Structure 1
């Protein structure tokens, strides 16, 4: 079902069936293939392709030229920068059908993927993590991790607000205190 409160530009194609939540906007020349579940208050920018069988949580923003293929799940409040790329097969060939080899990709809530970054399938992008522009992610990314490079490597930590954390692990924007544990990071209050 497409919510009557969703706005779909006249140049966009939305195949049926689909679920598109209230307040979601699908902009110029975008295509949503069948059997997708797109939450409320999402923005799909110009020339975005979604699906089939993709789940996008509430509040996600996909900038221009993003393609989200089968096997990708975006939890709520995920930001995908312009022209970031998701893959769904590790060893594609034009002459060989590999639909049975699609690898899942999970992008957890609040994560940011920078412009022109590539996310190789079969990996999980942690909650509130940040993938630098142009990075190539070839392995799982921890919650709150800041990764950059080819292949992407962790270069620091970021807060829920997206600010890079210094050694004191206090967010300069919100004052929230974080703590490291078992190679990961969490709010000192114990919340994610």
Structure 2
């Protein structure tokens, strides 16, 4: 195992494995068993491999201790970012300050996770995505490759808004297929799908699926036209 460059007040628990040329800032906590690839930069106050904790009133079942986090090579992890156990981060990913990646999350190579972004549990994010400042990816969501999520966009997974036991087996996140784009402050309701190259305008509320290459606008969002051919992923 290579020897990392460690800042002050760093806690590295047992069985953490470092690749070559890893730099760790001050006050970082890396939990047991975490795997870290080559040429990784971990900035001050980051927490990696944290086991989830459950509120007493949570409807989620107690879970056993989860497997360690995995961080690929050439990854940058920003100041005060938190990466939970059983999170798998691909190579060349950039994770900005204050971002949170929950348990059972997979992040594809070359994806950018912006400042303050939250990716909740049981999500998959594809390769070369851009999740911009303060957007929220709800639990049980799936994003394809080359997905763009603008600042403060919100996805949801609970049509019952916290009421009735009926909702317990009906949580469903959102799906954004390859090349899908979500504008700033847009809201996507539970279970909705944005198909390939589908585009949601800023501040729209998506109450039904967005079809391939559609541009939807408004609240509720409605198609106004097809995405301009120059904007399609295949023409980039």
Q: TM-score, normalised by structure 2?
A: 0.66
Q: Secondary structure at the match of 1:146?
A: strand
Measured after TM superposition, the shift of residue 105 of structure 1 is 1.7
User: Relative to 1, partners in 2 of residues 1:99 and 1:50: Cα closer, same or farther, differing over 3 Å?
Assistant: farther
Stretches of structure 1 that go unaligned for 5 or more consecutive residues are: 164-173, 175-192
Unaligned runs of 5+ in 2: 1-69
> How far did residue 106 of structure 1 move?
1.1
Deviations 1:126-145 (A, max 9, x none): 10111000000000111000
Q: Distance in 2 between matches of 1:123 and 1:86?
A: 9
Structure with more contact order per residue of length (Cα contacts < 8 Å, sep ≥ 6): 1
Residue 158 of structure 2: aligned partner: 89
Query: Out of 62, 85, 89, which is 1:20 matched to?
Result: 89
1:122 shift after superposition: 1.3
Q: Over the residues paired in the alignment, what is the CA RMSD in angstroms?
A: 1.9
Quick one: distance in 2 between partners of 1:128 and 1:160?
A: 10
Distance 2:103 2:229 in 1: 33
After superposition, where does 1:111-190 map in structure 2 within 5 Å? 111-159=180-228, 161-162=230-231
Tell whether the 8 Å contact from 1:19 to 1:37 is kept in structure 2 after alignment.
yes
Give the secondary structure class of the aligned counterpart of 2:169: helix
Tell me how far 1:67 sits from its aligned partner. Answer: 1.2
Q: C-alpha distance in 2, partners of 1:95/1:65?
A: 29
Could you give the per-residue CA deviations for residues 148-171 of structure 1, whole angstroms, max 9, x where no partner exists?
0000000000146427xxxxxxxx
The question of whether the paired residues in 2 share the 8 Å contact of 1:5 and 1:22 is answered with yes
Partners of 1:108 and 1:126 within 8 A in 2: yes
Deviation readout 1:32-81 (Å, 9 max, x if unpaired): 11110100001111101112110000011000111111121000000000
Please give the TM-score of this superposition, normalised by the length of structure 1: 0.80
Shift of 1:17: 1.5
CA drift at 1:98? 4.0
Rounded to whole Å, the distance in 2 between the matches of 1:14 and 1:152 is 34
Q: Number of residues paired by the alignment?
A: 165
Say whether the 8 Å CA contact 1:114–1:132 is kept in structure 2. yes
- 1:28 and 1:113 mapped to 2: Cα distance? 22
